[in-house]
Amino acid sequence: MMHWRTRQKLVKGALGAVTVLFLAYQWLPMLVMALLSFTGPDGGPTFPMRGVSLHWYRELLRVQMVDDFKPPMLRSLLLALACSVTTAALSLAAVQAMRARFRASGLFFYLILLGVMAPGLLVGFGVAVVARILGIQLAWYTTTFAVHVVWTLPFGFLTLLAVFNRFDRRLEEAALTLRANRWTTFWRVTFPLVLPGVIGAGLFGFTLSYDEFARSLFSTGAEQTLPLVIFAQFDRQLQPTLYAIGTATTVVSLVTIMCFSLLFRMVRRRTRTGAPGAA
């Protein structure tokens, strides 16, 4: 029988090894993809690499008829921005409403959570069917937009619910007691305090929409978004161009997350210094 301390160390070592192996397992494919995107002009989609070059990135920038990734990327970015703003605004309104405990608020809560539960493919499918029956033209800025917000809204909503759970109501009460009206109190006291949460909701809106594939598949018309174009290209032929676009769009995602977290920190710092003792 081992001493329990030795055994505990063994368990810790084993769990640590599992975690590290899992991390390698998760990161290696992406790193290898990034590495292979720099292969030479004669290189293929697997090892060995044939030289090192920016050939496949240059290939991306060159205008092509079929494989031009630039317009779809622009569409995806615009769509993600629209989803970001919509998610932030709708979830803030929805959470404010929840706080007033209106009559159907329990049902309302589950209605919004449905967006997370519903399988993406089927939501897109449903909207495509409805559009066909009603004679609505499918387009990334109408139907796809609608479907993406169904997906992103619950995340923003839950984020803001959590923020308001920790919210100090006395600050609002103080403002109201000092005879600010409800409108002023909301915009001058409540909103600045929950702004970091609103930014978080916006981040969810952006990243979830930017990468979304399943929901876009049926709901997008002829002008496709980036994930759709990537998948179509992948279906035709696996080229290092795909690794280049994959690496590029991953960098865009990471830069966006960094921008949002910088914004988040800035706002939080300003709130803290602007209202001493509030935090």
Partner 1 sequence: MSTLRQRSPVSYALAMPAALWMLGALVVPTLFIVWVSFWASRSFSLGSPLALINYAKFFQRPAYVKVLLDTFQQTLILMAITLVLGYCIAYFAVVQVRRPHWKLGLFLVLVIPFWTSALIRTIAWIPFLGVTGVINQALLFLGVVGQPVGAFLYSRTGITLAQVSFYTLLATGPVVYVLRNIPVSLREAAQCLGATPARVFWRITVPLTLPGVVIGQILVFLNVMADFATASAIGGNKHAYLGNIVVLLYDSGQLPFASVMAVLLMLCMLGGVAVLLKVVDIRRLGIP
Interface region with partner 1, contact rule CB under 8 A, candidates 27-35, 50-58, 63-71, 269-277:
27-35
Interface region with partner 1, contact rule CB under 8 A, candidates 10-18, 58-66, 194-202, 265-273:
10-18
Q: Rounding to the nearest 10 degrees, give the CA dihedral for residues 91, 94, 96, 97.
A: 180
Give the one residue of 54, 255, 257, 262 binding partner 1; rule: CB under 8 A. 257
Task: Report in angstroms how near the CB of residue 65 gets to partner 1 at its nearest.
Answer: 22
Give the one residue of 58, 70, 102, 273 binding partner 1; rule: CB under 8 A. 102
Torsional sign, CA 225, 75, 92, 279: positive
Q: Which of residues 213-242 bind partner 1 (CB under 8 A)?
A: 213-214, 217-218, 227, 230-231, 234, 238, 242
Name the phi and psi angles at 39, rounded to 5. Answer: -65, 160
- d(Cα 188, Cα 175) in Å, to the nearest integer? 9
Q: Kindly write out the interface string for residues 62-91 of this chain, putting x where it contacts partner 1 by CB under 8 A and - elsewhere.
A: ----------------------------xx
4 binds partner 1, rule: CB under 8 A:
yes
Q: Which of residues 129-188 bind partner 1 (CB under 8 A)?
A: 129-130, 132-133, 146-147, 149-150, 153, 157, 169, 172-173, 176, 182-183, 185-186
- d(Cα 199, Cα 189) in Å, to the nearest integer? 17
Interface region with partner 1, contact rule CB under 8 A, candidates 7-15, 58-66, 194-202, 266-274:
7-15
Interface region with partner 1, contact rule CB under 8 A, candidates 51-59, 63-71, 122-130, 264-272:
122-130
- Bridge partner residues of 52 (DSSP): 39
Residue 75 sits at the vertex; the CA angle it makes with 72 and 79, to the nearest 5 degrees, is 140
**DSSP output for 108-156:** HHHHHHHHHHS-HHHHHHHHHHHHHHHTPPP-IIIIIHHHHHHHHHHHH
27 binds partner 1, rule: CB under 8 A:
yes
Contact by Cβ (8 Å): 238, 45: yes
- d(Cα 223, Cα 225) in Å, to the nearest integer? 7
120 binds partner 1, rule: CB under 8 A:
yes
Q: Which is nearer to partner 1, 254 or 279 (CB)?
A: 254
Interface region with partner 1, contact rule CB under 8 A, candidates 3-11, 52-60, 192-200, 267-275:
3-11
Reference 194, options 185, 207, 206; nearest CA is 185
